[in-house]
Structure 1
Amino acid sequence: MPDGTSRDGDRAIEQLREMLLIREFETRVSELFENNELPGFVHLYVGQEAVAVGACSAIDEDDYITSTHRGHGHAIAKGLDPDRMMAELFGKETGYCHGKSGSMHIADVDAGMLGANGIVGAGPTLATGAGLSIRRRGEENVCVSFFGEGAMAEGQVHEAMNLAGVRDLPVIFVCENNLYGEMTPAEEQHHVEGFASRGDVYGMPSETVDGMDVGEVYDATGRAVERARNGEGPSLLICETYRYRGHYEGDPTRYRTDEEVERWQERDPVSTLAADLVEVDGIDEEEVESMREDARERVEAAVEFARESEMPDPETAFEGVYAEDLSR
């Protein structure tokens, strides 16, 4: 468990490994999509890696998360297998949902990944439900719910936060403020400066953190997790971050300037952490490059696994879609 203040070089190295894996996974997915190898849309997480890795490294393996349409980074940070993730993107039988979910709905309940979600703002409602289930079962788990600042305009998000606050549920709401809800700037969607005040409305502490700094996200999540495990209820974290790609692959991004993107790229969370490990912790630059190459090889192996996997049998189209009738 994080102590909320300390720096741990070994932990930072593992966080860099995960961030590199996410970056390489998303970079390769972009190439595959451009080459028409993937069906459907993809929404990439490039630039936001510090949020997923920082938050997920602050929870335990048996804790839960809910995700968004931009969920590949969350899934990898929670420990999902890149092979099965890539196979799902290819629509193959070996994917997590046997090719039915595609990019936006990958889930593995056994791993605590309660699902990416194509419906904006749907994750927090699932997280509050998970929190209620945890409470009723008398367990000490927590649920981290990732969502974007655009989802802050969705009524169901406020309903979820209100119920979590009223019941003191063990939920950590993580708002990834990447400045744009699809193509609309945040200031044109919300008549508030920042979002921390939203937590006050529902009686939960709020904290605004640098979402480009994995250590800061880790520490803030750790404090929220400790509160939740102690029965003190939910928290709201506002992680200020930025997506380097468009809202979706193919988005011309006319709504933002090259200068803005360049400013945020100067704070690249992957490059910044790598440089910090070299300068502060004294690891060799060759070790960083070795980790980068390991990530590339891991992702390429996932691509080959996906390409070689079988397409699902059409006869199985309705399997796993409906719950079993437990009354029989």
Structure 2
Amino acid sequence: MTGDMAPRIRCRLITEEDAPEITGLLARGFPSRPKEYWSRALERLAQRETPPGCPRFGYMLECGGTAVGVILMIFSKGRDGGAARARCNISSWYVDPRHQGYASLLIAAAVRLKDVTYMNVSPAIHTWPVIEAQGFRRYCSGQVVSIPALGPWAPGAGVQDFSSDEDYGPSLTSAERNILETHRNYGCLSLVVREKGETHPFVFLERRLFSEVLPALQLIYCRELKDYVRFSGALGRRLWRRGYFAAIVDSEGKPPRTVGLYRPERGPKYFKGPERPRIGDLSFCESVVFGP
């Protein structure tokens, strides 16, 4: 190779052997996160089951044998009219500033599977135009900071922590049991509401509001947003006893009968692919798998 030839850049799959270098690159790209955060993220990706034909970690840009770009991908099985369909949370997209011109190689590789629905649930504000130019569409444009304990009360509704050993009947599917159990193991709060012989699943993730002062929860999973509204009183009283007064809920506008503040343009979420994601389902997203 002559001295004036630039090193070749290539895009390839991340392997387990790349973990130390990728960890360092992500720590430089996202300085608010320590190296330990990214080490845990890659460890958890290594332990997860991945749908056939889907990357386990994601893709990297390599220049002269050195990692200069990365995009992490969290694959899981979604649902589409009863048929299993893979979906992917695209996360932690970073390219060294000296190689920004090659950033498009990463996203092109990441979204190449046509039968997968890709989601970006935490895009930085300055990336919104870029994401939209890449063909991603918004499916949620705001959030409600709600006070569920002041919400409507459903007579006869009982709330309890999910237990792997308990039989909740046929109304709780095996896929929902897996969501409840797996997310509890990731540190989420998995609850079930039982009413008139029916079981309704809910998953929450701990957050903090107002400059990290007020403890709160973010709704990660429920069947439908109207379920959260319907059972918010019962859920809120349970959460109140645990020291949580507020819950962050994705929403297009303020849901009826919800006590709280709607914040438009807060936490917008994007998708690309065959299936529009359902508001109220952030299962297996980056804040769960990697940690908040």
| TM-score of the aligned structures, taking structure 1 as reference length | 0.26
Question: Larger % of strand: which?
Answer: 2
Higher relative contact order (CA closer than 8 Å, sequence separation 6+): 1
Q: Give the TM-score normalised by structure 2.
A: 0.28
